[in-house]
Amino acid sequence: MSTIRTPRRFVAFAAVAVSAFLPMSASLADDASTPSPAAQAAASAAQAAPTSAENVPFSPSAADVARVRQRVQSDPAFASRSAQEKENLVRLLLQGTSAPARTNDGRSLALVAPQVQGYGKTDADAAAKTKLYATVDGASDPSNLAARAEFADGYWKFTVRLHNVGSRSQYLGFSGFTLLKLGGEGGKWANPRLRTSFSVDGRAIYGVRVPAHGERTVTVSISDPSYSLYEYVLRGGSKTAPLGGFVNFRPAEDKTAPTVSVPFTGIFKAL
């Protein structure tokens, strides 16, 4: 992982390639740390639940797991998979179709980091019918969808592989957000308005078509367009800041098809 030593060094690292800028809604709070009862419950569940290699909690109900396992076992699209691969698919389908939550902080809807809420609210109905699922290239655990965003050349990056097991191609649009935890262990999650961009083979894209019975890989990049992150983190009272967020892949042609959401985590260091 690269270390950022000075603001000037960070500016030098930051790439200037123009990519799809997905601005946050003005209704979202910059300070995403004020806990509501829902957020407090999610945090308690996160402490008690098993975590993935990227520290994103996931604890589905036995009923949801059983329902999606039945779908995987009976779906001809997965007939050639091994028993372990099918068990991994059960988790991936449930994780990818979970709905990331926002919490009401008393002023507006605030975003919640995956380290706090996990994958979001499980939707077994969506997991049992979706023709699309995602994996993360280079994942340390093939049964967990959470991505590790590694810093290089001015970007935090990871690559998502989108799989379509249906008989029709699907065109997907993108969205995403990133939060930073400022102030160390007892700090607050905040929204620094980082840029989320998407590319295929080095070319910036705003959507992607996944062929029937096929797959496409999409590289996700997180960057600081204002070059102010170094000072932003130091003002929070710490030289390091965990980051976390979600990217969403939303079917644009079939409005009834579930969105696939991929959580990611990373770290900013200003030493």
* Overall average pLDDT of the 227-255 stretch: 88
Q: What is the largest CA-CA distance in the chain?
A: 56
pLDDT exceeding 70 applies to what percent of the chain? 77
Please report the pLDDT score of residue 48 as a whole number: 35
Q: Is residue 99 part of a domain?
A: yes
What is the pLDDT of the chain when averaged over all its residues?
Answer: 81
Packing angle between helix 83-96 and helix 62-74, nearest 10 degrees? 120
Number of domains within the chain: 1
Q: Give me the domain span that covers residue 162.
A: 7-269
pLDDT higher than 50, residue 31: no
pLDDT higher than 50, residue 18: no
Nearest alpha-carbon partner for 117 in 61, 47, 63, 187: 47
Please report the pLDDT score of residue 106 as a whole number: 58
- Collapsing DSSP to helix, strand or coil, 64 comes out as helix
Phi, psi of 86 (to 5 degrees): -65, -40
pTM of the model: 0.79
pLDDT higher than 60, residue 247: yes
Q: Is residue 1 part of a domain?
A: no
> Could you report the per-residue pLDDT of 78-131, keeping only the tens digit for each?
999 999 999 999 999 999 999 998 876 655 567 999 999 999 999 999 999 999
* Overall average pLDDT of the 40-65 stretch: 62
- DSSP state at residue 112: -
44 pLDDT band (50/70/90 cuts)? very low
Q: Is residue 214 part of a domain?
A: yes
* Overall average pLDDT of the 249-264 stretch: 96
User: How is 209-231 classified by DSSP, letter by letter?
Assistant: EEPTTEEEEEEEEEE-TTS-HHH
Please report the pLDDT score of residue 140 as a whole number: 87
Please report the pLDDT score of residue 173 as a whole number: 97
**CATH code: domain of residue 242:** 2.60.40.1710
* Overall average pLDDT of the 49-71 stretch: 81
Q: Is residue 2 part of a domain?
A: no
Q: Is residue 151 part of a domain?
A: yes
Q: Is residue 24 part of a domain?
A: yes
pLDDT higher than 90, residue 47: no
Q: Is residue 227 part of a domain?
A: yes
pLDDT higher than 60, residue 192: yes
- DSSP state at residue 77: G
pLDDT higher than 50, residue 43: no
